[in-house]
Structure 1
Amino acid sequence: MLKPAIIVILALIFTGLQWRLWVSDDGVSSRTRLLEQADAAHAENQQLAVRNAELDAEVQDLKSGQAAIEARARTTLGMIKPGETFYLVVQ
């Protein structure tokens, strides 16, 4: 008589533990969600690292060369050299 009751109790405990493992906030679904978030953060970090490298190269170019400064002044600020004629082509 006692054995079936023990089996039922153990089955309920096992079911409860499985519930916590698969469904609760501390279980497998939470781990999967965290891994997806980590992958997204890693991809974003890679994109930002590429952007930082491009910006660093631009800064080094601006620090070292007069041509880069001149090109930046022409495109961004619309500056021209003395004696040059500015033409604006409108399409």
Structure 2
Amino acid sequence: MKTLWAILVVLILLLQVRLWIGEGSFAQVWALEQSIEDQQAENAKLAARNERLYAEVRNLRSEQGAVEERARMNLGLIREDETFFLVVEK
């Protein structure tokens, strides 16, 4: 009877070790859940950035004024009938 109890205690200890340490343990599952949450947050940020870029591309494709505005701001576009004034502050 004592050997049966000893075998059961050893078996329970082995199962506990597997539960707390090793592959599929609570610690590993917690770490994986944490990395999934981090990756989902990163994906949400990237999805928002992509949506902004897609909206900008749709705007540039559909409206001629958007292209002209972009050229004025970034490339210094000036039409033939316009006068350019450069104001320099001291």
Q: Residue 80 of structure 1 contacts residue 86 of structure 1 at CA under 8 Å; is this kept in 2?
A: no
2:86 equivalent to 1:87: yes
CA distance in 1, matches of 2:27, 2:87: 60
Q: 1:30 aligns with which of 16, 28, 31?
A: 28
Q: Which runs of 5+ in 2 are unaligned?
A: none
Identical aligned residues as a percent: 36
- 5+ unaligned residues in a row in structure 1: which ranges? none
Q: Distance in 1 between matches of 2:30 and 2:52?
A: 34
Deviation at 1:48, TM superposition (A): 1.1
Alpha-carbon offset, residue 89 of structure 1: 4.0
Q: Distance in 1 between matches of 2:75 and 2:46?
A: 27
CA, structure 1 residues 73+13, in 2 after alignment: closer, same or farther (shift >3 Å)?
same
Q: CA deviation at 1:57?
A: 0.6
Q: Aligned-residue CA RMSD in angstroms?
A: 1.8
